[in-house]
C-alpha cells in the first residue's frame, strides 16, 4: 500500500509519533532546531553526536528511546556528504526500510530545510524503503503481524511551498513501486494479459489511450519476428500501447519501449535449470514503461509520451521456433534465428518498427536483454547504447539524476560483421564476444531513422542480494531514467 504523506512545519519535539527519523549530514554539529527534542531525550541525541557514536555517514543509523510524551523513538540516519539530495534520498530509504522492519506503521521525518529536490528525494526514499512484497504469503496471525508503513509526516520549513515537491515524490515512487511489484510477480500470475490489464488500469486512472493487440492483429501487421517467440506459448502475446497526451496536439512524442518476457525459458536453446526462476523478471523493461507512464501521468508533464510493450513468454513445444528458422520482421528484413534464447531482440524488432508510425522525437527502450551486460558492467550499472550521441548523453544524464547510473558501450561498424547470416539479412546472435553490443546492433536495424537509445537493464533491474537500502528483488530500474529523461524534455 502507498504511504499517505503529509507535511508540517514546527518543532518535531512535540510530534506524537512512534518513530521520528532525524537525518543529519556527515560530521554534524547537533542542530539547534532540535534542542527541545534533545532535552526530551535527556541530551542523548547531542551526546551521541558529540561522542561520535553517530557521525552522519552514509548508511549509518542509531535508534534511541525516550519515556514520556513526544516521539517514542528517534532514529538518527546519516545523509553522508557528497550530494545532499542523493544522501537524503538514501537516508530516507534506509529509514523507510527500518520503519517497515520495526512495524511502527507510521513515522515522522525531519531534516534541515527540506525543500524542492531534497524533499522530493525524501518522499521517494521513504516510499521505496517502506515498500514490501507480501501479497503471496499467507496472512500472519494478527498478534504477530507487523504493521506496514502507511503514513508519514515530513517536517518542512514552509508547508505551502512543499506541496509540489511532495506530489512529485509520490508520483515517482508510485511509478517505481508499480514496476517493482510487477517484476516480483511470478510468470503464472503476471502474464502478457496481466500486463495488458495493468496498462488498462493506468489508462483508466489517468485517461491515457490504451491499445492492446494480440496474435491476430500482429499477424495482420506481419510481426513475424515477435510472433516467432510466441509460437510455443498458449497465452496470447500482447503488443501494448499507452498514449499520454500532455503536450501540444501534433507534437512528436517520446517513445518508451519495454521488453515484456513474462518468462524466458530460452526455448529450444533451453537455459540451464539453476536460477531459471529468475527469468520471471524478463519483463522488467515493460514493467519500467508502465511505472514510468504512471509517474509521468501523475506529474502531469507537458509532453506527449507513448509507451510500447512487447509481451509474451519464450517456451518450448512442437510449435516452437527452432535454431535455423528464418523469419521476416514487419519492416521486411529477414532474420536467421540461430539461438532461440536471443528472443528479446526478436520481440523488440517489431515493436521498435511499430514505434516509427509515431514519428517520435526520441525512442528509449529498456530490456533485460543480455547476460553479457552483467559480465561487462556488473549489477549496478546500466548498459547504454544508441544511434544518436546527443540523446545518449541526455539519457546518461537522466540516469545520473535519478540514481540509475549508466555507461555507454560503442556500436562500432566493425561489430556488425558479427550478426551477418549466410541465409538471411542478419542472424539473432553474434559471436562469443561483445554480446551486449551485438544485441544492440541488432535492435539498431529496426530503429533506423529514429533517434534511439537502448538500455540493457539485465544486471540492474533485479538485485540478487540484499543491499543496505535495496532488498533482494526488483529495484525499479529503469523508471527513474525514463522519467527524468521525459521530464527533461517536457515544457
Give the interface with ligand BES as residue ranges (CB under 6 A).
264, 282, 339, 341-344, 368-372, 429, 435, 458
Q: State in angstroms the smallest separation of the CB of 339 from Mn ion.
A: 8
Tell me how far apart the alpha carbons of residues 353 and 1 are, in angstroms, rounded to a whole number.
Answer: 37
Q: Does 365 bind Zn ion (CB under 5 A)?
A: no
Q: State in angstroms the smallest separation of the CB of 329 from Mn ion.
A: 18
* Cell numbers linked to 323: 535454431
Q: Order of strands, edge to edge, in the sheet holding 20-24?
A: 4-8, 147-155, 104-110, 20-24, 73-78, 61-65
Q: State in angstroms the smallest separation of the CB of 230 from Zn ion.
A: 13
Q: Which member of 146, 271, 333, 416 is catalytic?
A: 271
237-296 binders of Mn ion (CB under 5 A): 264
Nearest position to Mn ion, beta carbon:
341
Q: State in angstroms the smallest separation of the CB of 312 from ligand BES.
A: 12
CA neighbor of 385 nearest in space, from 343, 441, 339, 336? 441
* Cell numbers linked to 467: 543491499
**CA distances to 331, 357, 410, 429 from 419, in Å:** 17, 26, 15, 6
Q: State in angstroms the smallest separation of the CB of 320 from ligand BES.
A: 15
Tell me how far apart the alpha carbons of residues 253 and 301 are, in angstroms, rounded to a whole number.
Answer: 12
Binding-residue total with Zn ion (CB under 5 A): 4
Q: Which segment (181-189, 262-270, 379-387, 434-442) binds Zn ion by CB under 5 A?
A: 262-270
Helix (H, G, I), strand (E, B) or coil at 178: helix
274-333 binders of Zn ion (CB under 5 A): 282
Tell me how far apart the alpha carbons of residues 173 and 3 are, in angstroms, rounded to a whole number.
Answer: 10
Q: Which segment (220-228, 248-256, 333-341, 446-454) binds Mn ion by CB under 5 A?
A: 333-341
Applying CB under 5 A, among 264, 336, 394, 404 the residue interacting with Zn ion is: 264
Tell me how far apart the alpha carbons of residues 223 and 456 are, in angstroms, rounded to a whole number.
Answer: 23
Positive or negative: CA dihedral 247, 250, 256, 261: positive
Helix (H, G, I), strand (E, B) or coil at 354: helix
Tell me how far apart the alpha carbons of residues 220 and 237 are, in angstroms, rounded to a whole number.
Answer: 14
Nearer to Zn ion, 261 or 469 (CB): 261
Q: State in angstroms the smallest separation of the CB of 314 from Mn ion.
A: 6
Q: Which member of 180, 345, 401, 427 is catalytic?
A: 345
- In the residue annotation, 32 being an active-site residue is answered as no
- In the residue annotation, 271 being an active-site residue is answered as yes
Q: What angle do CA 419, 421, 426 make, to 5 degrees?
A: 55
Q: Which segment (149-157, 232-240, 292-300, 338-346) binds Mn ion by CB under 5 A?
A: 338-346
* Beta-strand pair 334-336/238-245: unpaired
* Cell numbers linked to 53: 557514536
For 429, phi then psi, to 5°, come to -135, 160
Nearer to ligand BES, 171 or 346 (CB): 346
Nearer to Mn ion, 343 or 394 (CB): 343
Q: Does 456 bind Zn ion (CB under 5 A)?
A: no
Nearest position to ligand BES, beta carbon:
371
Cis, peptide link before residue 478, omega less than 30° from 0? yes
Applying CB under 5 A, among 38, 174, 236, 341 the residue interacting with Mn ion is: 341
DSSP state of 159: H
Nearer to Zn ion, 45 or 195 (CB): 195
Nearer to ligand BES, 94 or 309 (CB): 309
Catalytic residue set: 271, 345
Positions that interact with Mn ion (CB under 5 A):
264, 341, 343
Amino acid at each position: 500500500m502507498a504511504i499517505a504523506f503529509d507535511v508540517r512545519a514546527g518543532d518535531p519535539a512535540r510530534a506524537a509519533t512512534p518513530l521520528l527519523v532525524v537525518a543529519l549530514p556527515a560530521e554534524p554539529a547537533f542542530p539547534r532546531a532540535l534542542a527541545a527534542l534533545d532535552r526530551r531525550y535527556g541530551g542523548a541525541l547531542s551526546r551521541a553526536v558529540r561522542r561520535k557514536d553517530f557521525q552522519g555517514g552514509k548508511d549509518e543509523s542509531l535508534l534511541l528511546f525516550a519515556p514520556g510524551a513526544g516521539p517514542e523513538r528517534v532514529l538518527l540516519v546519516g545523509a553522508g556528504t557528497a550530494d545532499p539530495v542523493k544522501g537524503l534520498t538514501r537516508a530516507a530509504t534506509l529509514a523507510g526500510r527500518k520503519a517497515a522492519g520495526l512495524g511502527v506503521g507510521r513515522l515522522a521525518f525531519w531534516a534541515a530545510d527540506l525543500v524542492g529536490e531534497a524533499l522530493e528525494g525524501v518522499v521517494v526514499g521513504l516510499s521505496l524503503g517502506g515498500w514490501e512484497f507480501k501479497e503471496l504469503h499467507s496472512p500472519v496471525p494478527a498478534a504477530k503481524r507487523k504493521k506496514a508503513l502507511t503514513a508519514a509526516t515530513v517536517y518542512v520549513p514552509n508547508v505551502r511551498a512543499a506541496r509540489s515537491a511532495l506530489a512529485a515524490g509520490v508520483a515517482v515512487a508510485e511509478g517505481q513501486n508499480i514496476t517493482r511489484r510487477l517484476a516480483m510477480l511470478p510468470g503464472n500470475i503476471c502474464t502478457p494479459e496481466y500486463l495488458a490489464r495493468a496498462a488498462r488500469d493506468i489508462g483508466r486512472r489517468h485517461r491515457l489511450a490504451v491499445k492492446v493487440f494480440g496474435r491476430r492483429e500482429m499477424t495482420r501487421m506481419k510481426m513475424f519476428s515477435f510472433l516467432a517467440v510466441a509460437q510455443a506459448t498458449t497465452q496470447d502475446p500482447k503488443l501494448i500501447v499507452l498514449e499520454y497526451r500532455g503536450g501540444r496536439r501534433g507534437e512528436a512524442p517520446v517513445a518508451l519501449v519495454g521488453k515484456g518476457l513474462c518468462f524466458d525459458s530460452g526455448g529450444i536453446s533451453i537455459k540451464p535449470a539453476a536460477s531459471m526462476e529468475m527469468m520471471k523478471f524478463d519483463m522488467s523493461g515493460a514493467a519500467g514503461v508502465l511505472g514510468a507512464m504512471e509517474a509521468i501521468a501523475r506529474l502531469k508533464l507537458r509532453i506527449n509520451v507513448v509507451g510500447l510493450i512487447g509481451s509474451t513468454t519464450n517456451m518450448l513445444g512442437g510449435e516452437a521456433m527452432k535454431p535455423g528458422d528464418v523469419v521476416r520482421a514487419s519492416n521486411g528484413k529477414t532474420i536467421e534465428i540461430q539461438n532461440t534464447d536471443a528472443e528479446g531482440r526478436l520481440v523488440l524488432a517489431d515493436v521498435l518498427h511499430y514505434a516509427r508510425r509515431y514519428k517520435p522525437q526520441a525512442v528509449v527502450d529498456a530490456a533485460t536483454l543480455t547476460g553479457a551486460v552483467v559480465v561487462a558492467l556488473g549489477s549496478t550499472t546500466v548498459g547504454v547504447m544508441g544511434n544518436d550521441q546527443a540523446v545518449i548523453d541526455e539519457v546518461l544524464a537522466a540516469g545520473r539524476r535519478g540514481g540509475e547510473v549508466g555507461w555507454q558501450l560503442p556500436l562500432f561498424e566493425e561489430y556488425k560483421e558479427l550478426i551477418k547470416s549466410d541465409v538471411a539479412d542478419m542472424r539473432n546472435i553474434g559471436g562469443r564476444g561483445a554480446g551486449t553490443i551485438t544485441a544492440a546492433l541488432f535492435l539498431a536495424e529496426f530503429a533506423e531513422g529514429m533517434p534511439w537509445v537502448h538500455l540493457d537493464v539485465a544486471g540492474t533491474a533485479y538485485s540478487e542480494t540484499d543491499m543496505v537500502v535495496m532488498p533482494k528483488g526488483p529495484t525499479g530500474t529503469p523508471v527513474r531514467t525514463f522519467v527524468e529523461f521525459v521530464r527533461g524534455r517536457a515544457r
